[in-house]
Structure 1
Amino acid sequence: SDYAGNSFGSFPNGLAAVFGPDAIPQAGLAQIVAFVGFLELFVMKDIEGTGNEFVGDFRNGSLDFGWDTFDEETKLSKRAIELNNGRAAMMGIMGNMVAEVLTGQTMYE
């Protein structure tokens, strides 16, 4: 638990965790937004000359899990697979949000 006595299990699931009466404190949400902002501004940057091949290629010369060993056809296929998986995940999350709003229950209830 934190200094205020809140534990992870004391917060509700779903949208109620952000908008409900027992929601995560605004300072906690601000910390999350600040951390993601830090990552966007200082870590996940497109640095010229570090092997960036396409928009969203944020390797920056520090992480490379063998991407450069693939041929162009394999790279194109893997990028398409990753984009489609991301789209499917977004649709799944959107479906969960809509179902929660319509039924008033989270997917875990």
Structure 2
Amino acid sequence: MGFYDKIVESFTEIREKLSTDPATNESVSSALAAELTLISTLLIATILLRHISIILTIIIALGLTLFLITNMPLIPKLKKEQSDSLDKMLFYIIVTLGILITVIYWGTTNV
């Protein structure tokens, strides 16, 4: 069994636990794409910290690696948070804007 088959099987098992909907190719592919996008975004953000401190980058990269290894796959866990609740939407909007402002501020002061 290949690596991709193991990933598809794990997503299928988790999807069955979360809902009664069958796991289709679209849902598994979208969850895999979201997982890879999230991981690559976090890794790029960690690498960009090298302009501030190399030691901080190493510590965060090791912590991020440990977090990703122990909590894979992330998308089913994040899907539990998905709802139309105004409180949750406002929380994620504030977090996103905070991250964007931080990245833009660091990008202009350290370049």
In the superposition, the TM-score normalised over structure 2's length comes to: 0.31
Give the number of the structure with larger relative contact order, counting CA–CA contacts within 8 Å between residues 6 or more apart: 2
Which structure carries more helix by proportion? 2
Radius of gyration: which is bigger? 1
